[in-house]
Amino acid sequence: MKPHPVVAPAAAPPRIMTLGVEEEFLLLDPATGESMPVAARVLDALSGPAREQSRQEFRHSMVEMVTPVCTDLAQLREHLVALRRAAADAAEAAGARLVAVGATPVCEAHRSVPDEQRYQAMSRRFGPVAHDPAVCGCHVHVGIPDRDLAVQVCNHLRPWLPVVQALTANSPLHDGRDTGHASWRSMQLERWPSIGPTPHFESVADYDAMVAELIAAGIMLDAAMVYWYARPSAGYPTVEIRVGDVCPTVDDTVLVAALVRALVATMVDDIRAGVAAPRVRDCLVAAAHWRAAHDGVDGELIDLRGGGARPAWELIDELVVTVSPALARHGDLDAVLRELQRVRREGTGATRQRRIMAGTDGDVRAVLHHLTAQTTAG
């Protein structure tokens, strides 16, 4: 692989990086599992910090909860638990259940977008794509105030993000049936023109010029519609990793957030040491993400560093070895190793859903009952 040139960042980021998480949830009918358009009622019922940390989403059947900036995993976990429980209580008061699942598992009859100017503009521009059944993601933010460094980090992350995607797979169901994909959310999102693997950029000026060109071409309405799997955040001084399905449990989310922060920190160390981002063909990166969405951790992933398909857990183990110094530096190594052992035993959210389906003769309601309980466990 031919390396890309490295541009030295303006200043070293702090050794202990901040992080925050955005989680999107579905509001489902407790009897049928169908999506319920009650988001406005749920948001109105929230109060205090939970209301301040909630967001209107692109569907009337979705809510998003956003943690404050955190410095350690215990703090992050505390916020995630509190926000999920507050949103679940508000959902129950509206007659719905808050469920952490990556894609609409049964059906969504009401697919109109909220009466917000930007959402309405997206609906007009992108037509039926904007009215697909709702999908829910987990977005992890890691503090990188230098935007040029943030762009370089995104270049270095490209070979690793399919591994992160596989670990978060939590949406095998669509229309009440197994799709054969561990992350159906990923398949739905491929219909959007501004979603996918992050391209390589030479600098922040190169990045900004391309975004401006895509906006001028009508591919995006604005810079906030840069939905690449990693990006310098449009609203925060962070690198935002947005490749994953929403995780079924708080413990799953904390695990992913810890790995993502350590991965970003490791890439920063490499950049400062003069290590160049590998040149990987865009078609191979796209193929690796498709394989991750299809297999999750239960099959094989494409090794974008060495080539070929390999068992998913081999690449996960290599990811952990790669980021172990950063995990140790942040005090996260023991927790990550422990939680990865749990996921190795239990599987991802997709694996767990399929296990319940197999044990209940395909009873989707049993899956949703399990997911509802998992959403607020902890």
**How far apart are alpha carbons 164 and 340 in whole angstroms?**
12
Map tokens 């049964």 to a residue: 106
Do the bridges between strand 195-196 and strand 227-228 make them parallel or antiparallel, or are there none, so unpaired?
Answer: parallel
- Predicted local confidence at residue 3, as pLDDT: 38
- Distance set, CA 172 to CA 29, 118, 184 (Å): 19, 30, 6
Specify if 274 maps to a domain.
Answer: yes
CATH code at 350? Answer: 3.30.590.20
- Predicted local confidence at residue 15, as pLDDT: 79
Specify if 233 maps to a domain.
Answer: yes
- Predicted local confidence at residue 14, as pLDDT: 64
Which residue range forms the structural domain that includes residue 85? 19-375
Q: Reduced to 3 states, what is the DSSP secondary structure of residue 266?
A: helix
Specify if 229 maps to a domain.
Answer: yes
**How far apart are alpha carbons 216 and 336 in whole angstroms?**
43
Specify if 282 maps to a domain.
Answer: yes
Q: What is the pLDDT of residues 139-187, one digit of tens each?
A: 999 999 999 999 999 999 999 999 999 999 999 999 999 999 999 999 9
Q: Could you list the pLDDT tens digit for every one of the 378 residues in the chain?
A: 333 333 344 455 567 899 999 999 999 999 999 999 999 999 999 999 999 999 999 999 999 999 999 999 999 999 999 999 999 999 999 999 999 999 999 999 999 999 999 999 999 999 999 999 999 999 999 999 999 999 999 999 999 999 999 999 999 999 999 999 999 999 999 999 999 999 999 999 999 999 999 999 999 999 999 999 999 998 899 999 999 999 999 999 999 999 999 999 999 999 999 999 999 999 999 999 999 999 999 999 999 999 999 999 999 999 999 999 999 999 999 999 999 999 999 999 999 999 999 999 999 999 999 999 999 997
Structure tokens at 21: 């998480």
**How far apart are alpha carbons 378 and 81 in whole angstroms?**
7
Q: What is the pLDDT of residues 305-348, one digit of tens each?
A: 999 999 999 999 999 999 999 999 999 999 999 999 999 999 99
Number of domains in the chain: 1
**How far apart are alpha carbons 306 and 262 in whole angstroms?**
21
Specify if 2 maps to a domain.
Answer: no
Specify if 91 maps to a domain.
Answer: yes
Q: Please, what is the angle between helix 312-329 and helix 250-272, to 10°?
A: 70
- Taken as a whole, the chain contains a residue count of 378
The number of angstroms, rounded, from the C-alpha of 316 to the middle of its chain's C-alpha atoms is 17
User: Mean pLDDT of all residues in the chain?
Assistant: 94
Q: Determine the longest span between alpha carbons in the chain, in angstroms.
A: 58
Specify if 11 maps to a domain.
Answer: no
Do the bridges between strand 97-99 and strand 62-66 make them parallel or antiparallel, or are there none, so unpaired?
Answer: unpaired
- Predicted local confidence at residue 47, as pLDDT: 96
- Predicted local confidence at residue 234, as pLDDT: 87
- Predicted local confidence at residue 260, as pLDDT: 98
Specify if 138 maps to a domain.
Answer: yes
